[in-house]
Structure 1
Amino acid sequence: MFRHSTRTLMVGLCALAVAAPATPALAGGPQPVPPAAARTLHTQTFADVTTAMKGEAYAYAAYNLFAAEADRQGLTAAAGLFRSTAQTELNEHLREAAALAGTVGSNAANLRQAINGETYEHQVMYRGFADRARADGDLAAAKLFTEIAADEGRHRDAFRAALTAVTTGHGTVPAPSKADMVPVPAGAAKVKAARTKANLDTALHGEALAHAKYMLFAAYARKSGNTALARLWEGTAKVELQEHLAGEAVLAGLVHTTKTNLRTAVTGEHNEATTVYPQFAKRATALGDTAAARYFRNTAADESQHAAAFQKALNQLH
């Protein structure tokens, strides 16, 4: 996993794990309150686990974009490495962190969590981002932020209708909207203002986390027998990843050549393995959160292996 700001892709790498912005259920806003399943964790440990989830979700999304670029360059081995690592980040690291954080609750609780996040993104976050981008002359970003704000309002309304159906038995779960898939080729950033770049970074992490959470919620809904709700979660997750995040990635200039993408991955994974996760493990151990400490140590070991694999792939391209 790596956590880097899109702002720093042109000047270096920085870890967001230590100083990531506090977020509500999905992105932005006040620090989330631990659900009942995670209240055995100390506040600091819960914050670190939440940060890990954001980073793992973002790594999954970015690595899949890097894989697509490697495919375009005919670098099938590098593409396969990015995709396999992305699956580890999502299906192992993020899922384990989500279990520690008690992220998945009942269908009704999951819908309420998503409604809160979508409401914030619709009413506050994306509208504010659009206003600031417009003021700074980043009109393409302002347009995209405005469009996403409207989408998030529709997502909120669909989840509200689903919540009524789930809790009262009246009405039906809406069908999901279809994602308008956006290709993300390698390219430079298409925005100029520092705060637009910073807001794109926040948005990218928020959309990645929304996608990952919604897929977890979909799995729970399907297991509980509510296939219509599972389809709503899955369809919305695709919009967040393949349309929203992809559009933001184009403006942010997230994807570069495969060599550069591999260097980014090496630096990020090494930082996670040697600094971020060991710090999280040390804090969790001191607080007596042994399960979380074990998760952080195990994940650090995995990230060290990822860094080595990416470095080997990079060496083979020289």
Structure 2
Amino acid sequence: MSSSTVRLLAVGTCLFAVGAAGTTAAAAPQPAHRSAVHRVRPQTLTDLRTSMRGEAFAHASYTFYADQADREDLPDVADLYRRTAHVELHEHFHEEALLAGAIGDEIANLTFSAAGEADEASSMYPRFAREAEQDGDHEAAALFAEIAMDEAAHNAAFTAALRFLQTGQGQVPAPPRVDPVPVPAGPPQVHAARTLANLDTALHGEALAFARYTVFAEQAEQAGDQQVADLFRGTAAVELHEHFAGEAVLSGFVGDTRGNLHRTVAGETYEATVMYPAFAERAREAGDTEAAELFCDNAGDEAGHARAFEQALARLD
């Protein structure tokens, strides 16, 4: 499928999806952010959460694909990945999170984050560690166990910050120290299908945590609470540059740049021509016009991303 065809399919389908509501994707404004949370129907909310998860994962993926392009002395490709990653997080994810009501005040954000970290520390990662040990993937078991301890510490920090904001007792903890893990291209370092599936689940969860904590940090900064912002931002860095990175190494997540570009073009094309147009159509039918417009805007953006990555791939041939 050519890049021009991708663009036509994305825009054409969204024109149909939103047109009946009296607006078009081409005419819709594209603000840097939305200032209000809008109530949406349950299916639209589900679609917003699905797209948030995808945008967060794209941002994380492109961050490490950019590093690999640097290793291969491909600065233009690395720059393209980093610019696109910025759009996925600071435009697409952020706008979807606002519309989904996923960004609250500091107390709401800390409460949500502490609960998520508690679940990962006490349930998800311990189970993954047990299963990896049973399957003979001892390195993965050790990593999962280590991350469980980290998540317990994150829960404790968020809980302490929450207690300080609610009662004035104690203090907001300092952000955690980050030990970045490089993620060079390489094959999977585990052999069990169950371990690979658990690594995939964990990668998506860490990418989403990074994205959420980043926008929570921005919200805290806007509220003038720099200590909470620093805690969120430092924790986000651990989730991406330690946890996601360590899991990416074991799963063989990063390939050479040519292979990364092929995967990227396929992913961006799917979002532009299938996922976002379908979400826009459902939102229009539900009467969620603003969500339909946002989905269409994003479909157009993803079509442009597909075209840019397709051109980058062609330059390697």
CA distance in 2, matches of 1:39, 1:263: 37
Identity of aligned residues (%): 52
Counterpart position of 1:180: 179
Paired letter, 2:111: R
CA distance in 2, matches of 1:133, 1:283: 40
Range 149-158 or range 191-200, more displaced:
191-200
SS of residue matched to 2:292? helix
Counterpart position of 1:10: none
Paired letter, 1:299: N
TM-aligned CA deviation for residue 135 of structure 1:
0.8
CA distance in 1, matches of 2:218, 2:311: 35
> In the TM superposition, what are the counterparts of 1:201-216 in structure 2 within 5 Å?
201-216=200-215
Q: Is the 8 A contact 2:121 2:149 kept in 1?
A: yes
CA distance in 2, matches of 1:50, 1:184: 27
SS of residue matched to 2:178? coil
Paired letter, 1:220: Q
Does 1 or 2 have the higher relative contact order (CA < 8 Å, sep 6+)?
2
CA distance in 1, matches of 2:130, 2:38: 38
Gaps of 5+ in 2: 1-35
> In the TM superposition, what are the counterparts of 1:1-318 in structure 2 within 5 Å?
40-318=39-317
Q: Is the 8 A contact 2:185 2:253 kept in 1?
A: yes
TM-aligned CA deviation for residue 38 of structure 1:
5.7
Paired letter, 1:60: H
CA distance in 1, matches of 2:261, 2:38: 38
Paired letter, 1:173: V
TM-aligned CA deviation for residue 215 of structure 1:
1.0
Q: Is the 8 A contact 2:49 2:100 kept in 1?
A: yes
Q: Deviations over 1:125-181 (max 9, x none)?
A: 101111111111111111100000010000000111000101111211001110111
Q: How high is the TM-score relative to the length of structure 1? A: 0.87
Q: Is the 8 A contact 1:214 1:236 kept in 2?
A: yes
CA distance in 1, matches of 2:40, 2:291: 8
CA distance in 1, matches of 2:216, 2:165: 14
Paired letter, 2:224: G
Q: How many residues align?
A: 282
Q: Is the 8 A contact 1:179 1:239 kept in 2?
A: yes
CA distance in 1, matches of 2:86, 2:226: 24
Counterpart position of 1:16: none
TM-aligned CA deviation for residue 39 of structure 1:
7.0
TM-aligned CA deviation for residue 289 of structure 1:
0.9
TM-aligned CA deviation for residue 72 of structure 1:
0.4
- C-alpha RMSD of the superposition: 1.0
TM-aligned CA deviation for residue 41 of structure 1:
1.0
Paired letter, 1:275: V
